[in-house]
Structure 1
Amino acid sequence: MAKKNFKNYILNGAFILLIAVLLFVPSAKALLIQGLMEVGLFNPSVEKQTLKNEPALALSFKDANGKTTTLSQLKGKVVFINFWATWCPPCLAEMPSINKLYEKYKNNDDVAFLLIDADNNFEKSLGYMKARNYAMPVYQMNSSVPEQLFTGSLPTTIVFDKQNRLSFKHEGAANYNSKKFVEFIAQLRDSSK
């Protein structure tokens, strides 16, 4: 009887420890979310979501070297923008899928990627990218962002079509390397209007 109780205490302790790790260790939570993405959860809805037919407001981004890029300079390209932070488990969970999508399009002049560092700490975000061998471009906002685009929820991903119209917005983690999303980006890239 004492052995059975001891075994139950050990199992309960291990379960409580596992829950604590998942609650308080961002990388453990990110790993769990990544596993759920692999089985098909967290796929973004890719029905074209043109929220407004007017061009987006003037958005400006700054890279780690201080070079400024504006959304209007990227007109004629599909623009994938992801707001993320190194302390955000769902952000970290979706990074491998974003990196795979980036790898597919990094040499394509019709698609641009901007990963917006919500930490406002280039050293930290670039260190994260380097540690994982990601070559995705990291930026910080150099202008205000309308609430229509970003309410502060991390991660948030938005995609603009070639005319700088908002075509996609998703708050929360998602698998951006899913077949449907890759096809969605390809459709935007191949459209001329």
Structure 2
Amino acid sequence: MKIKMAVQTLFMLTCFTVIASATNLRSEIKLRPDTTTTPDFSLIDSDGNNISISSLRGKVVFINFWATWCQPCVQEMPSINELKASFKDNDEVVFLTIDVDADLPKSKAYMDSKHFTLPVYAATTAIPRVFYYHSIPTSTILAKNGDMVWHVEGGKDYTSPEIRKILTDHIAGR
């Protein structure tokens, strides 16, 4: 009886460890260029200007889905702002921070209060699941041809050399 109980306990601990490890892994997907041609959707910025994802073809696009109430989103925002600042003189890359609550006055006020230079957007059409499916923060990088080349769900430090390299390589067409 004690052996059976010990085996069951060991089995449960093993299962718990595997599940805990899988849960702690960030969902990060690095895609090859031309792997996923992305569907289109439309946005509006805090000044009332409309754009679509397809209108940004020819540029590398960094997209971040976030909300002001989301603690991991708020924690990663300074590093996204720093990343954007490092590309400030490069018109071949575009940064989109999309407020999933579509509360542009609130998200703009947040950005202004932190002195961030990140533009805020809200979707005006349905956001395809390949971009975002109810998990924030979520970030995606699109190559100049519109293909999704990188995607992550969960908070990240965007000052890492890895992210800069992905952007720089795709700006250069590599």
TM-score, scaled to structure 2: 0.80
Alignment-derived partner of residue 103 in structure 1: 85
Alignment-derived partner of residue 94 in structure 2: 112
Alignment-derived partner of residue 140 in structure 1: 122
CA change 1:142–1:85 in 2 (3 A) is same
| Percent sequence identity over aligned pairs | 35
CA change 1:123–1:163 in 2 (3 A) is same
| Runs of 4+ displaced beyond 2 Å | 42-45, 50-55
Query: What is the CA-CA distance between 1:187 and the residue it aligns to?
Result: 0.5
Q: 1:57 aligns with which of 17, 39, 55?
A: 39
Alignment-derived partner of residue 165 in structure 2: 183
Tell me which moved more, 76-85 or 101-110: 101-110
Query: What is the CA-CA distance between 1:183 and the residue it aligns to?
Result: 1.1
Partners of 1:52 and 1:59 in 2: CA distance? 19
Residues 1-193 of structure 1 aligned to structure 2 (within 5 Å): 48-50=30-32, 53-191=35-173
In the alignment, structure 1 segments of 5+ residues that lack a partner are 1-41
CA change 1:109–1:51 in 2 (3 A) is closer
Alignment-derived partner of residue 15 in structure 2: none
Report the RMSD for the aligned CA atoms in angstroms: 2.1
Greater share of helix residues, 1 or 2?
Answer: 1
Query: What is the CA-CA distance between 1:107 and the residue it aligns to?
Result: 2.4
Please state whether the residue corresponding to 1:62 is helix, strand or coil. strand
Greater share of strand residues, 1 or 2?
Answer: 2
Query: What is the CA-CA distance between 1:55 and the residue it aligns to?
Result: 2.8
Query: What is the CA-CA distance between 1:97 and the residue it aligns to?
Result: 0.5
TM-score, scaled to structure 1: 0.72
Q: Which amino acid aligns with 2:60?
A: V
Partners of 2:101 and 2:58 in 1: CA distance? 29
Please state whether the residue corresponding to 1:151 is helix, strand or coil. coil
Please state whether the residue corresponding to 1:94 is helix, strand or coil. helix
Partners of 2:41 and 2:128 within 8 A in 1: no
Query: What is the CA-CA distance between 1:66 and the residue it aligns to?
Result: 1.6
The superposition leaves residues 138-193 of structure 1 with CA deviations (integer Å, 9 ceiling, x where unpaired) of: 0001111121221110100011000000111100000111011111110111116x
Please state whether the residue corresponding to 1:103 is helix, strand or coil. helix
Partners of 1:148 and 1:52 in 2: CA distance? 15
